[in-house]
């Protein structure tokens, strides 16, 4: 049930297993959205405190920006990240200024990336990787950590410089395509920008090359085939003469591509620290028919060219429209690869370097007897960890870390509501149309609700039937077998190697510009995104059909 308040809209109920404490009366009047893309699981205390530390450092570096009026808010409820925005009324002059600034940012970003952001990230990540952390004193390690926390602020400034113009350029292309071509599916405009190289694709090709090396080595191939667990594969390789040669090749791969954590939280180790995810993907590749990803990309590029010619034919002789379309397409093709590339260097690479530093802090605290396990450091806040490092004999934090670990384990079992707070009305005391679909399963064309059909957004076209595998966290990657249908809350760039194994994708969250939809289109996999409760309504192993053309998931 929901309550109605004439002045606020529709007050949403708070689930019994998801207690919420509002900090003030105003908060309940906001519409809070769960950030299921970046927070599909409850955050660890360390990750939450890292965000707070970065915000404090940003405010210190730029006091003027921190004193501006706040129109957006972020809160953690039961470990999950929610955000709320206040409506703003911009004048025509202000909107035009924003448009002009975005035009300038879109036009300048590619050169900025090539000449400043990427070279800077490569140099600073290379320097971070070169530091021998085990040889540092505790004091020097803390200094190194503080330096990198400062550097992290700079890296996230780069992140913000890239993401806005990149998405805006592609959104503009999509809107222009629809103006020109008329009634088309939501994913059709993105045919124009498929087949472009990016760092995620490069990484996946490199993993496939590792799988090729395994196929060419009989003894190594037997080790991969006869063992299920990555740890057993690695230990068996280490005992084999042929296997040790492969491990050297693997080390070279990890030196280039190893700064990729398997999740957004600092809890998750990078591939360089734990290559299990890479080993699992190699094993999946050698168990299935080899895919020629490069040939697939060439096919997508050819289709993009055909789509471009189709648009130009539709425009005809309107030279102004042709120039507008070609400029828009050029910007989108230049910038779209940066969605994956920036994540490789910033969201993944920089975050992994920071995580590796914190893991070393955890090892020191464990050796000092402050915590029972080195990984317990991620169940402390940054302040608690730093304080303990400076005075390791003052307090034992084992019980606190265990309590928080147990708390997070309990929170993981909760499926958080998509929205909290108050739904805005449409001006006539009815729920605003854009939010009606969250009030329950969407009806079919006849107004009925079919429990055997889940409705979402067609993220990538095509239809596939197969067994569903519910994956809520990186710990469950081992479930995936060739041809399975991946069902998840959301995916991140670090999950992309799975896309070379699965047959289709279903995600609870996202739209046509979500990571799940983007990469599915690049791999030619049918995908339905924004299903809302797919991970709850689909059973593990259940046979389902993913209809990416119509945005439907059919339950068998």
Handedness of CA 249, 252, 256, 257 (dihedral sign): positive
Q: Transcribe 186-210 into DSSP letters.
A: TTGGGGGG-S---HHHHHHHHHHHH
Cβ-contact 142, 389 below 8 angstroms: yes
Choose among 341, 347, 334: nearest CA to 202: 341
Q: Is 515 annotated in the active site?
A: yes
Separation between Cα atoms, residue 367 and residue 361, nearest integer Å: 10
* Residue 468, beta-bridge partner list: 485
Separation between Cα atoms, residue 303 and residue 192, nearest integer Å: 8
Distances (CA, A) of 509 to 135, 250, 315, 467, 512: 44, 34, 35, 20, 10
Bridge pairing between strands 527-529 and 463-470? unpaired
State the DSSP H helix or E strand holding residue 106, giving kind and residue range, or none if neither: helix 92-112
Q: Transcribe 164-177 into DSSP letters.
A: HHHHHHHHHHHHHH
Length of the chain: 556
Choose among 116, 199, 100: nearest CA to 162: 116
Within 8 A by CB and 6+ apart from 410, the residues are none
Of the residues 155, 331, 342, 515, only one is catalytic, namely: 515
Helix, strand, coil in percent for the chain, rounding step 5: 55, 10, 30
Bridge pairing between strands 463-470 and 543-547? antiparallel
Question: Which amino acids are annotated catalytic?
Answer: 515
């Amino acid at each position: 049930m929901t309550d109605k308040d004439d002045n606020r809209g529709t007050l949403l109920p708070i689930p019994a297993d998801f207690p919420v404490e509002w900090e003030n009366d105003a908060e309940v009047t906001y519409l809070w959205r769960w950030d299921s893309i970046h927070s599909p699981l409850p955050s660890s205390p360390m990750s939450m405190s890292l965000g707070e530390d970065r915000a404090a450092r940003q405010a210190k570096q730029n006091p003027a920006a921190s004193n501006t009026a706040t129109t957006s808010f972020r809160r953690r409820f039961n470990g999950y990240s929610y955000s709320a925005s206040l409506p703003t009324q911009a004048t025509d002059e202000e909107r035009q200024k924003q448009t002009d600034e975005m035009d300038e940012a879109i036009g300048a970003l590619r050169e900025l990336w090539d000449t400043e952001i990427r070279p800077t990230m490569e140099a600073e990540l290379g320097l971070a990787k070169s530091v021998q952390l085990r040889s540092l004193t505790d004091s020097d390690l803390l200094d190194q950590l503080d330096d990198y926390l400062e550097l992290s602020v700079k890296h996230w400034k780069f992140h913000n410089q890239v993401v806005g113009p990149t998405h805006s350029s592609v959104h503009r292309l999509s809107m222009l395509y629809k103006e020109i071509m008329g009634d088309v599916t939501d994913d059709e405009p993105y045919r124009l920008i498929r087949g472009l190289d990016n760092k995620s694709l490069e990484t996946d090709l490199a993993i496939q090359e590792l799988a090729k090396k395994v196929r060419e080595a009989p003894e190594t191939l037997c080790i991969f085939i006869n063992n299920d667990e990555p740890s057993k594969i690695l230990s068996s390789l280490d005992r084999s003469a042929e296997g040790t040669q492969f491990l050297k090749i693997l080390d070279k791969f990890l030196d280039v591509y190893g700064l990729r954590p398997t999740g957004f939280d600092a809890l998750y180790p990078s591939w360089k620290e734990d290559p299990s995810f890479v080993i699992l993907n190699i094993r999946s590749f050698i168990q299935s028919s080899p895919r020629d990803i490069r040939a697939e990309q060439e096919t997508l590029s050819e289709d993009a060219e055909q789509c471009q010619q189709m648009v130009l034919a539709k425009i005809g002789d309107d030279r102004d429209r042709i120039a507008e379309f070609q400029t828009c397409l050029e910007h989108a093709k230049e910038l779209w690869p940066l969605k994956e590339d920036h994540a490789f260097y910033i969201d993944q690479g920089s975050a992994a370097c920071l995580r590796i530093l914190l893991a070393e802090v955890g090892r020191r605290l464990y050796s000092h007897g402050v915590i029972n396990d080195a990984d317990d450091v991620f169940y402390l806040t940054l302040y608690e960890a730093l304080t303990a490092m400076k005075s390791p004999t003052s307090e034992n934090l084992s019980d606190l870390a265990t309590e928080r670990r147990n708390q997070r384990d309990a929170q993981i079992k909760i499926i958080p509501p998509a929205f909290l707070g108050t739904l805005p009305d449409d001006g006539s005391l009815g729920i605003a149309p854009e939010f009606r679909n969250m009030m329950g399963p969407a009806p079919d064309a006849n107004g009925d609700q079919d429990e055997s059909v889940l409705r979402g957004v067609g993220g990538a076209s095509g239809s596939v039937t197969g067994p569903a595998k519910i994956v809520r966290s990186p710990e469950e990657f081992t479930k995936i077998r060739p041809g399975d249908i991946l069902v998840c809350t959301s995916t991140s760039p670090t999950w992309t190697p799975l896309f070379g194994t699965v047959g289709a994708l279903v995600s609870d969250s996202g739209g046509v510009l979500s990571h799940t939809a983007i990469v599915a289109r690049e791999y030619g996999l049918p995908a339905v995104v924004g299903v809302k409760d797919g991970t709850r309504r689909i059973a593990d192993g259940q046979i389902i059909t993913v209809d990416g053309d119509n945005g439907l998931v059919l339950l068998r």
